[in-house]
A and B are shown apart, each in its own frame.
Chain A
Amino acid sequence: MEWFNDFWSTYSTLVFTVGVHMLLALSIWLTLSCGLLSLANAAFMGIGAYVSALLTLNAGWAFPTVLLAGGIAPALVALVIGAPVLRLSGVYLAMATLAFGEVVRITVLNLDITGGPEGLNGIPLATEGWHIALLLLLAFYGLARLRRSKVGRAFEAIKEDEIAARLMGINVNRYKLLAFVLGGFIAGIAGALNAHFTFFISPREYGFEPAVDILTMAVLGGTGSLVGPALGAGILTLLPELLRFLHDFRSLVNGAVLVLVVLFLPKGIWEPRRIRAFFRKGGQA
């Protein structure tokens, strides 16, 4: 157990971060699975992080309720902005959701209660490994069930052909809103978990770059399944650490890996159909 303790004391934060990133990648998978390019998830994460941290610091709520509140707050925001924003599609939706992210970031930056640019300091360390593992499992299970049900079929139908989906009796607007709100909920919980193991949060962590990173994780892993986004999150979080020995060239190689994957595996790394075909071919040869 000696080696494990050593490993854990050095890398526990990294492992926690992998888990949180997996949740985030799953949260954006929801909107992507019905063909919506929404980039609001970093902002939802930020709302979850700030709301939960403030409740812990100022109201002294118990951790489970704090987590729940961290999920519900961005879900409510998603519900309110969803109706007008989800009328847009494609790049226009991406722009509108990015703009929403900026509004959230700048609001947090200028409020007193959020600590402005200095952020919130001294958030108690409440998140434990099993919290993340449990919530990740729950999210995985819930989304897997969703995918196999009429909801998952509706999402896919909307992604493939919105007009045909409407004429199959699917209330397209409602299902898009559902994906958006559920995504906000999961991202908010990820933010709340994150805030309670990093000790410190600031507006910078929820701006443009993380918004794009979350999308990259899901797309890199592949959005055709739930394994894809989780795998992408794992790779994108661990790769910079594994490339540490490259020193100054680290981000260069990191970027090159991303470009190569997108070029040669346009549907992401985890694409069950391609993987099956690969093994079938291997068996015959």
Chain B
Amino acid sequence: MSKLLSIRNVGKSFGGLHVLHDVSFEVPAGSIYGLIGPNGAGKTTVFNLVTGLLPPSAGAIEFQGESLVGLPPHKITHRGVARTFQNIRIFKEMSILENVMVGMHDHLAYGGLGLFFNTPAYKAAERRARERAFELLTWVGLAHKAELVADNLSYGDQRKLEFARALATEPKLLLLDEPVAGMNPSEKTALMEEIRNIRDRGYGVFMIEHDMRFVMGLCDRIAVLNFGRIIAEGTPEEVRSNPEVIEAYLGKEEAA
């Protein structure tokens, strides 16, 4: 399997506070990779570094063999990295359909003149975008609500919308920040199926998740982050039996 994303010796500090030390791992194409760890371990910071919202203090981040360090977020999206957020960030005042169409921004190739004169090429591009948006919304089960204002959606539906919007950017690697938070068990199972589907189409999926059953059941490989360091990396079985991981999650057994 070829590597899609590779993170090498990455460090991040805010002033004197070292959030990440010497973090290295690789996300292969066509697989689901999980990043887990206790609260405050620095998981979301890893996502922020990969998507260009923050610059790393040290180390290299490469996507398909090319460095992402120093690129602005929209260019990283353009390269094929999309993400969702832990604290959902949909565009609440826009319709659900428009939310997804914003994700297609980069793929609508018309200029100011086509827009002003409403040329056939412009119309065709907009129509295709609408159709594609409907396709994605059908896929996540929100098509019947397409014209609603996004703010009216339930929490679980907002997550699904964010998911559809991220896919609209046509990513090669999808970063999911706690995708099942706030979902009920049947929604979780359905999403698990969707994520497997996405992987089987050749995408890479890189997720942060707290729900252990979800992570262990879904991920091909897992990295464990604790206090800004990778303490374990491997298949779910390897990680599960790693004593350091057990200690990080359950605490150390008292000697006496």
Residue of A154, A156, A169 with most partner-chain B CB within 10 A:
A169
Closest partner residue, chain B, to A171 (CB atom): B74
CB distance from A257 to the nearest CB of B (A): 27
Q: A154-B105, A165-B102, A169-B106 are in contact. Are A160 and B74 (CB under 8 A)?
A: no
Question: Are A161 and B89 within 8 A (Cβ)?
Answer: yes
Question: Are A157 and B78 within 8 A (Cβ)?
Answer: no
Q: Is B53 an interface residue (CB 8 A)?
A: yes
In the bound complex, CA of A50 to CA of B61 (Å): 52
Q: Is A123 an interface residue (CB 8 A)?
A: no
Enumerate chain B residues within 8 angstroms of A160, measured Cβ to Cβ: 91-94
CB distance from A145 to the nearest CB of B (A): 6
Q: Is B169 an interface residue (CB 8 A)?
A: yes
In the bound complex, CA of A156 to CA of B126 (Å): 17
Q: How many residues of B contact A (CB 8 A)?
A: 33
Of A153, A156, A167, which one neighbours B77 at CB under 8 angstroms? A167
In the bound complex, CA of A259 to CA of B94 (Å): 29
Question: Are A161 and B91 within 8 A (Cβ)?
Answer: yes
In the bound complex, CA of A125 to CA of B110 (Å): 40
Closest partner residue, chain B, to A166 (CB atom): B73
Closest partner residue, chain B, to A224 (CB atom): B93
CB distance from A148 to the nearest CB of B (A): 8
Enumerate chain B residues within 8 angstroms of A168, measured Cβ to Cβ: 74, 77, 102-103, 105-106, 165, 169
Question: Are A149 and B165 within 8 A (Cβ)?
Answer: no
* Bitwise interface map of B from 197 to 224 toward A, beta carbon under 8 Å scored 1, else 0: 0000000000000000000000000000
In the bound complex, CA of A209 to CA of B89 (Å): 38
Enumerate chain A residues within 8 angstroms of B101, measured Cβ to Cβ: 150, 153
In the bound complex, CA of A142 to CA of B116 (Å): 6
Q: Is B85 an interface residue (CB 8 A)?
A: yes
Closest partner residue, chain B, to A165 (CB atom): B102
Question: Are B73 and A167 within 8 A (Cβ)?
Answer: yes
Question: Are B126 and A149 within 8 A (Cβ)?
Answer: yes
CB distance from B41 to the nearest CB of A (A): 22
CB distance from A261 to the nearest CB of B (A): 21
Q: Give A159-178 interface residues, CB cut-off 8 Å to B.
A: 160-161, 163-172
Closest partner residue, chain B, to A138 (CB atom): B116
In the bound complex, CA of A171 to CA of B52 (Å): 13
In the bound complex, CA of A153 to CA of B122 (Å): 15
CB distance from A280 to the nearest CB of B (A): 16
* Bitwise interface map of B from 101 to 137 toward A, beta carbon under 8 Å scored 1, else 0: 1111110101000011010001000100100000000
In the bound complex, CA of A149 to CA of B74 (Å): 19
In the bound complex, CA of A242 to CA of B209 (Å): 63
In the bound complex, CA of A18 to CA of B181 (Å): 53
Q: How many residues of A contact B (CB 8 A)?
A: 22
Q: Is A55 an interface residue (CB 8 A)?
A: no
Q: Is A77 an interface residue (CB 8 A)?
A: no
Q: Is B40 an interface residue (CB 8 A)?
A: no
Closest partner residue, chain A, to B149 (CB atom): A273
Q: A149-B115, A170-B102 are in contact. Are A157 and B91 (CB under 8 A)?
A: yes
Enumerate chain B residues within 8 angstroms of A126, measured Cβ to Cβ: none
Q: A145-B118, A149-B126, A161-B89 are in contact. Are A167 and B51 (CB under 8 A)?
A: yes
In the bound complex, CA of A171 to CA of B74 (Å): 6
Question: Are A156 and B51 within 8 A (Cβ)?
Answer: no
Of B72, B78, B90, B94, which one neighbours A156 at CB under 8 angstroms? B94
Enumerate chain B residues within 8 angstroms of A165, measured Cβ to Cβ: 102
Question: Are A157 and B94 within 8 A (Cβ)?
Answer: yes
- Provide a sorted-by-A list of 28 A–B residue pairs whose CB atoms are within 8 angstroms: A145-B116, A149-B115, A149-B122, A150-B104, A150-B108, A153-B94, A153-B98, A153-B101, A153-B105, A154-B105, A156-B91, A156-B98, A157-B102, A160-B94, A164-B85, A164-B89, A164-B90, A164-B91, A166-B72, A166-B73, A166-B74, A167-B53, A167-B74, A167-B82, A169-B74, A170-B106, A171-B72, A172-B74
List 4 A-B pairs, minimum CB-CB distance, nearest first.
Answer: A169-B106, A169-B77, A166-B73, A164-B89
A contacts, CB < 8 Å to B: 142, 145-146, 149-151, 153-154, 156-157, 160-161, 163-172
List 10 other contacts, CB 8 Å, given A161-B89, A167-B77, A169-B74. Answer: A157-B91, A160-B91, A163-B89, A164-B85, A166-B72, A167-B51, A167-B73, A168-B102, A168-B106, A169-B77
